[in-house]
Chains A and B, each alone.
Chain A
Amino acid sequence: MISRSRFLLVGCAAAALLSSAGCRYLHQDMADQPKNRPLSPSDFFPDGRSERPPVENTVARGAPADDDLFAPKDSNAFPLPVNQELLERGEERYKIFCSPCHGLQGDGNGTIAMRGMKRPPTYHQDRLRQAPNGYFYDNITNGFGAMYGYSAQIPPRDRWAIIAYVRALQLSRNAKVADLPTALRQKLGQAGFTKPGSEPKPETSTTKESTGGRN
């Protein structure tokens, strides 16, 4: 009888040891360190955030350099050299941040606009073709109408890249055949679309919708 109860005791001890060893294996203290990681909550600060908002009027390091990229609303200056690299960057950023509403071609028929967001005006109208670059910069930075400002999402350099791309989009529907390089002009002539040097048909309606849509 004694041996039986002792056996039970040893068995229980072994089981307890095994399960506690298992738990120790499964629970790793170092995985959960008492430190803050980005966006982790904190009970130290009253607003529950571990990340602190900068003190009012703080200027971020490197930010004064962005001042060179500022343009007033009525200025048509473009503070960066426009090249293929900037345009490609602009295309990428435009597709990320603008195309949901403004559409891939700038007609204002993006998916979000289709879902009931206030439909933005098309870029292919005279008012916006003639608007100065600073007007676009101001609208991206501070918002316009139903559009909130994008200053937090798009840094100044990318804003200018987007403006360059929007200008390219506008040009794509309002270019003169005479502006094309000779090789392309000849190709166009061979295809029988139009005689070299002739003017394209002016767009009649400013709100004309593209049938292309998203691809």
Chain B
Amino acid sequence: MAQIFHRSTNFIARFSVFSFIFIMGFAVLAVLQAARSPYMTRQNITREQPVQFSHKHHVGDDGIDCRYCHTSVEISAVAGIPPTKTCMNCHSVLFSNAGYLDPVRESYRTDTSIEWVKVHRLADFVYFNHSIHVNKGVGCTTCHGPIDQMPLVFQASTLLMQWCVDCHRNPAPNLRSMDKVFAMDWKPGADQEELGEKFMKERKIRTAAELTSCSTCHR
């Protein structure tokens, strides 16, 4: 019986056995990378909202403080989505016949919720609390990015556990003086290292071991 394969195919056979290890290795790496990609974390992807609400306009152009709408951010785990009445504080007069605010007026008239699309969604086994971060001097833009420049909000951070833990291991570089927590233009100064250490002591921020303990975030 004649040979089906030429002698040279022996090399291909040996090579494929050898390279199989690498191919599997790459496959595993690819899966791990995919899980961290913006495709999975939804980083930098804007969401369609029922109303094209622009934070750039309200925060950047008008200079409205975060807490005007997100009233519970200092006292509660959730920052809070404002009720439609908060919109109507101004929009009962301003843009009161603009078509794109129809859903807002409809919601106010009929007492139904505007179904905003959640942008920063953490896994259900994470118990994040806004108030503790804000009251210890971690500013809004540290996690949420330059909100005052976002016409439609996107997730500026990966929200991966690694990203959380990076700061929990060493919060000092992200601690601001208390009057700058809601500032949009804060940048760490040259003395941030020194200030950070001072704030760590003043505000009695826990040790890295305590901050990275499982039950700090997972309960």
Q: Are A116 and B93 in contact (CB under 8 A)?
A: yes
6 closest A-B pairs by beta carbon, nearest first, are: A31-B123, A33-B124, A96-B65, A22-B31, A38-B78, A96-B67
Chain A residues near B90 (CB-CB < 8 A) = 100, 112, 117
Of the candidate stretches B79-87, B138-146, B168-176, B200-208, the one touching chain A is B79-87
In the complex, what residue of chain B is closest to A214 when comparing beta carbons? B63
Chain A residues near B51 (CB-CB < 8 A) = none
A95 within 8 A of B: yes
CB B93 to nearest CB in A, in angstroms, measures 5
Of the candidate stretches A146-154, A166-174, A188-196, A202-210, the one touching chain B is A146-154
Chain B residues near A32 (CB-CB < 8 A) = 123-124
In the complex, what residue of chain B is closest to A114 when comparing beta carbons? B62
A58 within 8 A of B: no
Q: Are A118 and B93 in contact (CB under 8 A)?
A: yes
Query: How distant is the Cα of A32 from the Cα of B77 in the complex, in angstroms?
Result: 19
Tier of interface size on chain B = 20 to 34
In the complex, what residue of chain A is closest to B113 when comparing beta carbons? A49
Q: Are A31 and B125 in contact (CB under 8 A)?
A: yes
B112 within 8 A of A: yes
* Count of CB-CB pairs between chains A and B under 8 Å: 78
Q: Are B34 and A47 in contact (CB under 8 A)?
A: no
B94 within 8 A of A: yes
Q: Are B62 and A30 in contact (CB under 8 A)?
A: no
Query: How distant is the Cα of A115 from the Cα of B89 in the complex, in angstroms?
Result: 14
Query: How distant is the Cα of A47 from the Cα of B65 in the complex, in angstroms?
Result: 31
Q: Are B35 and A111 in contact (CB under 8 A)?
A: no
Query: How distant is the Cα of A40 from the Cα of B64 in the complex, in angstroms?
Result: 26
In the complex, what residue of chain A is closest to B91 when comparing beta carbons? A117
Q: Are B34 and A148 in contact (CB under 8 A)?
A: no
Query: How distant is the Cα of A214 from the Cα of B63 in the complex, in angstroms?
Result: 10
B27 within 8 A of A: yes
Query: How distant is the Cα of A112 from the Cα of B86 in the complex, in angstroms?
Result: 14
* Residue from the list B62, B71, B88, B93 in contact with A100, Cβ < 8 A: B62
Can you list 12 A-B pairs with a CB-CB distance of less than 8 A? A21-B31, A30-B123, A31-B123, A38-B77, A38-B78, A41-B115, A47-B112, A48-B113, A49-B113, A112-B62, A148-B85, A153-B68
Q: Are B65 and A95 in contact (CB under 8 A)?
A: yes
Chain A residues near B89 (CB-CB < 8 A) = 147-148
Contact with B along A10-27 (1 / 0, CB 8 A): 000000001001100110
* Residue from the list A26, A41, A115 in contact with B35, Cβ < 8 A: A26
In the complex, what residue of chain B is closest to A14 when comparing beta carbons? B24
Chain B residues near A153 (CB-CB < 8 A) = 68, 71, 86
In the complex, what residue of chain B is closest to A15 when comparing beta carbons? B27
B40 within 8 A of A: yes
